[in-house]
Amino acid sequence: MKRVLLVSTVYVDPANRGKLRALAARGLEVTVAVPQRWREPALGLWLESSWERTQGVEVFPVPVRAAGDPTKARFKRRAINALVRDKRPDIVQIEEEPEGQLASRVVRAARGHRVPFVVFSAANVPAGGVFARWRRQRVLRRATGVLAASDEAAALVRADAGDRPLRVLPQLGAAVPTVPEHLPHDGLVIGYMGRLVARRGLDTLLEALAANRGDRWQLVVVGDGPDRERLEALATDWRLAARVRWTGSLPPARIAALWPELDVLVLPSRPEAGWREPTAHVLIEAMAHEVAVVGSDTGAIPETIADAGLVVPAGDPGALAGALTKLADPATRRPLAQAGRARVMQQYSDDAIAERTIAFWREILGET
């Protein structure tokens, strides 16, 4: 195995290409196909891609119809077919949900050129609609292998993919700093990063902090969304406004500069009909920077944290308030933060994800 082709909208953002560089560093010729133009969901910005070859990774932009809409978007057939034909990869990895048009177009190209392919799925709730379920099963059962982002996602894959080789592996890793930086400050600095929508549970965190009003803490909220006005009003009603900093959405470079300021990152998501937290990448980033983490017991959050942080019941502000009180004590917080960093280095760093991905490819290609 020498040449690999990965396909995903995620890699439009250069900040998400750490795994690709780690694959290239292991002697592989890595090509990544990304949409020529795509709307980035967190920042709400349109991103443009151009051809480049950097650190062993060739970025190849492909025109996409209905760009920015994951439910309708699809690669132009001739362009993706030509890419597979010309690059002649030993394996193709499709990091889009198998029921979507984006994945289907790449599957047709790979099958047309008799190239083995792996499909990635983060979905941990059943696909909606009979046709979507049929298309998902059809793609998964033709795959050479399947990667699932979490144990819940793997259970769904197993139901749809039959006996296809399966491995649980997050899509993205994290860069682990050699020596994490921590800036001196007073009190506990708590971070939240994510979309400001109801299911992300920021209101639960605000209610927990209202219960801890007598403690010394600050909250930094990174992100934006339709729930922002309601959440700011809650902070005002609970007399928290002076202790909450709303940054709005930030580009990756500015987020990286925030990690040294934080003591704790909280991911308080709660499940709702048709949705559970599918990934917990922000927790991986926090742990890599030796920031202690707290998450709710839903979706991929508990298995990401394991014993390297605290897990509380979703939607329970009292339990979350108690967890934050515990973490205000450096003697409790520091060992958990160090355990989180060690867990990322072993399981979730860019290098670890690359090594585990290559091992899976070799296994399904019979190269082990």
Secondary structure of 102-117 in the HEC alphabet?
HHHHHHHHHHHCCCCE
CA distance 122 to 94: 12
Task: Give yes or no for residue 265 having a pLDDT over 70.
Answer: yes
Please state which architecture CATH assigns to domain 3-173+349-364. Answer: 3-Layer(aba) Sandwich (3.40)
CA distance 71 to 34: 16
Q: What mean pLDDT is predicted for residues 118-142?
A: 93
Q: Residue 166 has what pLDDT?
A: 98
Q: Residue 297 has what pLDDT?
A: 98
Q: Residue 128 has what pLDDT?
A: 81
Q: For the chain, what percent of residues have pLDDT higher than 90?
A: 89
DSSP secondary structure of 326-353: HHTSHHHHHHHHHHHHHHIIIIIBHHHH
CA distance 67 to 69: 6
Q: What mean pLDDT is predicted for residues 335-348?
A: 98
Task: Give yes or no for residue 148 having a pLDDT over 90.
Answer: yes
Q: Residue 21 has what pLDDT?
A: 98
pLDDT in tens, 156-181: 999 999 999 999 999 999 999 999 99
Q: Residue 70 has what pLDDT?
A: 78
Which two tokens mark 361?
A: 């490819």
Q: Residue 41 has what pLDDT?
A: 66
Q: What mean pLDDT is predicted for residues 272-288?
A: 95
Give the number of residues written for the chain.
368
Q: Residue 39 has what pLDDT?
A: 82
- C-alpha dist (Å) from residue 78 to 10, 35, 75: 22, 14, 9
Task: Give yes or no for residue 290 having a pLDDT over 70.
Answer: yes
CA distance 299 to 170: 13
Using pLDDT thresholds of 50, 70 and 90, give the confidence band for residue 44.
low
**8 A C-beta contact, residue 321 and residue 208:** yes
> Which of these CATH numbers, 3.90.1150.10, 3.40.50.2000, 3.40.710.10, 3.60.20.10, describes 188-347?
3.40.50.2000
Instruction: Tell me the H-state helices in 194-300.
Output: 202-211, 228-237, 252-258, 281-288
Which two tokens mark 151?
A: 């144990």
Mean pLDDT lowest for which of 47-51, 152-156, 208-212? 47-51
Q: Residue 42 has what pLDDT?
A: 60
Which two tokens mark 279?
A: 């990934």
Q: Residue 40 has what pLDDT?
A: 73
Instruction: Tell me the H-state helices in the chain.
Output: 18-24, 77-87, 101-112, 130-142, 151-161, 202-211, 228-237, 252-258, 281-288, 301-305, 317-327, 330-343, 350-364
Task: Give ranges for CATH 3.40.50.2000 in the chain.
Answer: 3-173+349-364, 188-347
**8 A C-beta contact, residue 339 and residue 308:** yes
pLDDT in tens, 68-107: 887 788 999 999 999 999 999 999 999 999 999 999 999 9
Q: Which of 186, 194, 175 is nearest to 282 (CA)?
A: 194
